[in-house]
Structure 1
Amino acid sequence: MRAYLSRLPLIVVLMGISAAAMMLPALLATGMDDHFTGRVFFYSSLLFLTLTGLVGLATQTIRPVTSPRAHLIALLLAYVALPFMLAFPLAEAVGNTRYINAYLEMVSSLTTTGASFFDPDRLAPAVHFWRGLVGWMGGFLIWVTAVAVLAPLNLGGYEVTSEAQITGRVQPGSGQMTAASPAERLRRHAARLAPVYLTLTMILWVALLLAGELPLTALIHAMSTMATSGISPVGGLEGRPSGVAGEALIFLFFIFAVSRRSFASGFSTDTARRMARDRELRLAIFAVVVLPTLLFVRHWIGALEVDELANSEGALTALWGSVFTILSFLTTTGFVSESWVEARTWSGLPTPGLILIGLVLMGGGVATTAGGVKLLRVYALYKHGTREMGKLLHPHSVAGAGRLGRRIRREGAYIAWIFFMLFILTMAVVMAALALTGLTFEASLVLAVSALTTTGPLAGVAAEAPISYIGLSDAAKSILAAAMIVGRLETLVLLALINPGYWRA
C-alpha cells in the first residue's frame, strides 16, 4: 500500500482526500435531519472515491516525475481542476444555481480567499461547513507545499533570504527536489504539520465554545482563522454571542499567519527568543501598534465634533476595534471586529478603505496561510531603503547586521522589488479586465486587491459602499477566480513555471 500511494500523482492524492472529506458534511447534515443534503454529500463521496481509485490504478504504470516543473504544475492543476470536483455536491445541495457559481465558490474557498457568491441564508448548515472545511484544507495545502515545494525552489518568499544568486538561471536549491520523490517530501511534511494544524484548530474551537459561541459557527470560525479564509456562516463576527472574548481568542491565533516560526520549529524553551528576533513578527507588531494609535489620536485632531472625549469605555472599545481589524486584514483573514464601527466613528474616518487595502497588500508571513506581498519582502525593502538613506549621509559607511542582514538588504531587496513590481502589474491587468466588464474604478481596484491578496471580505468594507460578489457578471467572476489562483500561487511561481531553465531541469 505504501508503494502504491507513493506512486500516485499529487492531484490524485488531493482528489482522494477531498472525496473522503465529503463524508463529514454528510454526517453533519444527517445529524441535523437534513437528509437531502446528507445524501448529496454521501453519494458524491462514493462517486469520487470510486473515480479516484480508477484514476489511481491508471497512473500506476506512469513513472513518477521529480523535476521542479512537475511540482509546480501539480500545484497549479490542483487549484484549477480540483474545484470542479469540490463544487459538485455544493451545486446539487443548493439546487437552483448554475455550476459556475459553485465552481467559483470552491475556488474562493480552496485559495482561502473567502469571497462568497451565495447569500448566507440560502445555504444549509452542512454546506457552510463544507465551505469552511475546503478553506481549512486549502490552508493546510499551503502550509505543506510552501515547505515541501516552494522552499527548495527559493520561491514563495524564501528567495529573500536565499543563498542563491539572482542570475536568471535555475536556482541551486532546485537540486533538493530531486533528492526525494514528490510524494515522499509531501508525505513527510504533511505528517509533521498535520497534528499541529489540527490541534491548534481544535483548541480555538473549544475556546470559542467556552466563550459562548454556537458549536458549528465556532468550528467554522476556528477553521477560517487558521486558514485565514475569513469564511463565516453568519456573515462575520458582528453580533456574535462570544463578543469581545471570542475576538480576543481569534486575535491570539492570528500569530500563526504572521510568522512561520510560531509553528514550523515546534515549541521549546528557545521559542520565545526566536520569536522575539523574528523580523516578520516585529514588523506586524509595529503595524498593529502604530496604525491603531494614529486612528485613536485622530479623534482629537480631525474628529472634535464627536462628543466622546471623556468616555473611557468608548475609547477602549474604539481602540480594540481598530487593533483587531488591522491585524485581521494584515493576515488577510478579513474578519471585522464588532467594534469597528466605533473605531471609525472615533477616528472620524467614514471609510478607511485605503488603510485596509495597504494592510492586505503587505500580507502575512512567509510559508503561512496569509496572502499579499508578505512581511519578509516588505522588511527587505524597508531595510534597503533605510540603508540607502544612511549612505546619503555617510557615503563611506559600512553596515552591520551580519551576512544574512546584508543579503536581505541586497539580493533580498532586489528580488522583493521585482516581486512587488510584478504584483502591481498583475493588479493593473486585473483592474483593466474588470473595468472592461463594466465595473467602476473603485470597484475594480477593491476587487482586484481582494482577489490577488486572497482577502475576499475586503470587498465589503474597503469601498464607500459594500461590493457584493453575487451581482457580478460571469466575466467578472471568472476574472476574479483566475486572480485568486494567481494570488495564491504568486506571480514568481507562475514565471518559474514557464522559465525555460525549469523545463530543462
Structure 2
Amino acid sequence: MYRARGQQQIGVMRRLPLLLLIWGVAALAMWIPAVYALTLDDHETSRSFFYSGLLGLFVVSLIALALLNREPRRGTLGQLAVMLSSFTILPLFLAVPLYEALGNTSFLNAYFDMVSAVTTTGADLFPDPDRLNAPLHLWRALVGWLGGLLMWIAAAAILAPLSLGGFEVTARGQPGRPVSGVAQSERVDPRGHLLRVTRTLAPVYAGLTVVMWVLLLVAGEMGLTAVCHAMSVMATSGISPVGGLEGSTAGITGEAILFLFLFFALSRLTFSTDTATSGYARLDKDPEFRIGILIVLAVAALLFFRVLAGVAELGLQVEPLQALHVIWGMVFTVMSFLTTAGFESANWNDAQQLSGLGTPGLVLMGLALIGGGVATTAGGVKLLRVYALYLNGKREIDRLIYPSSVSGEGGGNRRIQSDGAFIAWIFLMMFALTLGVFDLLLAIFGVGFEQAMVLSVAALSTTGPLIELATDVPIRLIDLSGGAKLTLCAAMVIGRLETLAIIALITPALWRD
C-alpha cells in the first residue's frame, strides 16, 4: 500500500510544471536559515525566512491544484526555458527574505545578490561581511549551492540531450536539436529522465558537501564558515561569510581540503560517467582533466618565476619555507580561478608584498575565461572547447609541414566530433561579441573601460570574486547605477546558460520541431 501511494505521489509530481517544483524547493530551503536564526535568538530574521517560505509554499500549492488536471508539455527545450526562468524570475522570490531581514538596502540590490548566488557567480554586493548576519550568509551560500545542483542535474538531463553547454563539441548532433544516444530516453519521457538524473546526482552532491564540511570542522574551521565554504566550493560560487580564506581559521589545511574538492569542477568524470562517450570513462584519459592540471601547473610556475624576478630586482632573498608557501598560494589561487570558484589563498597577498608587484589581473581574467569542465558547476568557455581548438591548431601546424598528411588522431580523440573545433571557434567568437556588447552597455551607464571589462568578464565567466582581485582598487558594486546592475544580472544569466542556449531558446524553428 505504501509503495502504491509513493508511486502515486511521484506521478503527481511528474505532472506539475518544473518551475513550480523548483519554486517549492526554494520555499522549503528558506526554513533552513529560519531554524538557524531561531537557534541564535534572532527572531526577526527567523520570521522573515519562515513566513517567506510559508507564503511560497502556499502559492505553489494553489497553482499546483489549479494545474493538476492538465497534461504537462513534453520536450527538453521547454525545460531549458525553465532554467532561464529559474535564473531570472525565481530570484525575485529568493530576494524577499533577504530584503526583509536586511532592512537597509533596496530590493534591486537584494535581487542582484540572489541572481549572483543562484548563477554561482558570487559577486559580493556587500563587501563588509559584518553587514550581514549569520543566517543571511547561510542563505546566500545555500542559494549558490542549490544553483550548482541545478547545473549538475541540467547538464545531463537538459543540456546534453540538446547538444548545448559544451556537448555540441562532442559527437552528439546539432546544437539545440535532440539526438540519439543520451537524448533517446529523454525524447520518450523527458520528465522521467530528469527525475532519474536528480535521484542519482543529488545524493552525490549533498554527500560530497557533507564530507567537505566535516573535514573543515576537523581542520579547525568555525561551523558557519565551514558549511558556507563547503557549499561554495561544490557550487564554485566563491561565497564566504568571512570575506574569503584570509578570515578562515583552518589555515593551510583547510585550503588543502578545498583544493581537493575543486577537482570536481575540472571534469564531470570525477563524480559521474552519465555523459561520457565510449572510451572516455577513465579520469586519467579525460582530456579536460589533463589539460586543466597542465594549465594549473604551467600558470602557477610562471607566476612563481614572476615573483622571483621581482624579489631579485629588489635585492631580497626568499627562504625555502617562504617559497613553499608562495608556490602553494599560486597553485591554489590558479586552480580556484580556473574552476571559477574565485577563492584567493591566504598566501596570495604575501607573494605580492614580497615581490613588490601588483595583482596579475589579466592572468586571473584569462583563467576565469577558460573556465572548468563541461557539465560541471564551473563557468567560462570550458576546457573541452579549449582542447578542441588546441587539436585543430596542432593539426593545422602539421599540415603546414606535411600538406598531404592524413591525421592519425581520430581514434584517440573520439570525444571530439569532426566539426568540433569549428563549433568551439564559433562559440568563442560569440562569447567575445557578447563580452563587447556588455562592455558597451556598462559604458553607457557610466562605468569606465577597465572596470567594464572586469565586470563583464566576471559576470560572463560566473567568477564574482574577480571583481575585487583583478584590479588594484576593488570595484564597489553597491555604487553602480540601477541600469548597470540589471545589465550585470543579464550577463550573469547569459554566462550561466551560455549564448548557444539563449539562441536555441529564441529560434522558432527549434520550437516547431
TM-score norm. by structure 1 comes to: 0.95
Q: Residue 205 of structure 2 aligns with which residue? A: 197
CA contact (8 A) 2:121 2:492 kept: yes
1:228 equivalent in alignment to 2:250: no
State the alpha-carbon separation in 2 of the partners of residues 40 and 299 from structure 1.
Answer: 49
Q: Residue 159 of structure 2 aligns with which residue? A: 150
1:396 equivalent in alignment to 2:404: yes
Q: Residue 179 of structure 2 aligns with which residue? A: 172
Task: Give 1:346 shift.
Answer: 5.0
Q: Which moved more, 1:16-25 or 1:341-350?
A: 341-350
Q: Residue 102 of structure 1 aligns with which residue? A: 110
Task: Give 1:397 shift.
Answer: 1.4
Task: Give 1:213 shift.
Answer: 0.7
Q: Residue 435 of structure 1 aligns with which residue? A: 443
Task: Give 1:218 shift.
Answer: 0.4
1:44 equivalent in alignment to 2:52: yes
SS in structure 2 at match of 1:408: coil
1:129 equivalent in alignment to 2:138: yes
SS in structure 1 at match of 2:282: helix
State the alpha-carbon separation in 1 of the partners of residues 159 and 194 from structure 2.
Answer: 11
1:11–1:391 distance in 2 versus 1, CA, 3 Å: same
1:468 aligned residue (458, 465, 476): 476
State the alpha-carbon separation in 2 of the partners of residues 406 and 6 from structure 1.
Answer: 36
Q: Residue 28 of structure 1 aligns with which residue? A: 36
Q: Which moved more, 1:223-232 or 1:495-504?
A: 495-504
1:296 aligned residue (286, 294, 304): 304
Task: Give 1:185 shift.
Answer: 1.8
SS in structure 2 at match of 1:200: helix
CA contact (8 A) 1:328 1:334 kept: yes
1:496–1:403 distance in 2 versus 1, CA, 3 Å: farther
Cα RMSD over matched residues?
1.9
Counting only pairs closer than 5 Å after superposition, residues 180-219 of structure 1 correspond to structure 2 as 180-219=188-227
Q: Residue 4 of structure 2 aligns with which residue? A: none
Q: Residue 80 of structure 2 aligns with which residue? A: 72
State the alpha-carbon separation in 2 of the partners of residues 54 and 171 from structure 1.
Answer: 33
1:115 equivalent in alignment to 2:123: yes
SS in structure 1 at match of 2:313: coil
Q: Which moved more, 1:290-299 or 1:83-92?
A: 290-299
1:404–1:341 distance in 2 versus 1, CA, 3 Å: same
CA contact (8 A) 2:84 2:497 kept: yes
Counting only pairs closer than 5 Å after superposition, residues 357-436 of structure 1 correspond to structure 2 as 357-403=365-411, 405=413, 408=416, 410-436=418-444
Q: Which moved more, 1:294-303 or 1:221-230?
A: 294-303
CA contact (8 A) 1:380 1:409 kept: no
One-letter amino acid of the structure 1 residue matched with residue 118 of structure 2: L
SS in structure 2 at match of 1:64: coil
Counting only pairs closer than 5 Å after superposition, residues 486-501 of structure 1 correspond to structure 2 as 486-501=494-509
Q: Residue 342 of structure 1 aligns with which residue? A: 350
1:80–1:169 distance in 2 versus 1, CA, 3 Å: closer
Q: Which moved more, 1:121-130 or 1:61-70?
A: 61-70
Q: Residue 3 of structure 2 aligns with which residue? A: none
Task: Give 1:272 shift.
Answer: 12
SS in structure 2 at match of 1:232: coil
Unaligned stretches of 5+ residues in structure 1: none
Unaligned stretches of 5+ residues in structure 2: 1-8
Q: Which moved more, 1:495-504 or 1:179-188?
A: 179-188
SS in structure 1 at match of 2:479: coil
TM-score norm. by structure 2 comes to: 0.94
1:263 equivalent in alignment to 2:247: no
Q: Which moved more, 1:150-159 or 1:307-316?
A: 307-316
1:347–1:284 distance in 2 versus 1, CA, 3 Å: farther
State the alpha-carbon separation in 1 of the partners of residues 186 and 374 from structure 2.
Answer: 23
State the alpha-carbon separation in 2 of the partners of residues 43 and 307 from structure 1.
Answer: 62
1:287–1:257 distance in 2 versus 1, CA, 3 Å: same
The one-character-per-residue Cα deviations of 1:200-254 (angstroms, maximum 9, x if unpaired) are: 0001001111111100110000000000000011110014211111001000000
State the alpha-carbon separation in 2 of the partners of residues 69 and 273 from structure 1.
Answer: 28
Number of aligned positions between the proteins? 499
CA contact (8 A) 2:280 2:286 kept: no
1:217–1:141 distance in 2 versus 1, CA, 3 Å: same
Q: Residue 259 of structure 2 aligns with which residue? A: 251
Task: Give 1:407 shift.
Answer: 6.9
State the alpha-carbon separation in 1 of the partners of residues 268 and 352 from structure 2.
Answer: 32
State the alpha-carbon separation in 2 of the partners of residues 21 and 75 from structure 1.
Answer: 18
Q: Which moved more, 1:271-280 or 1:91-100?
A: 271-280
1:35–1:407 distance in 2 versus 1, CA, 3 Å: closer
CA contact (8 A) 1:8 1:183 kept: no
Percent identity at matched positions?
51
SS in structure 1 at match of 2:416: helix
CA contact (8 A) 2:117 2:143 kept: yes
CA contact (8 A) 1:288 1:323 kept: yes
Task: Give 1:163 shift.
Answer: 3.7
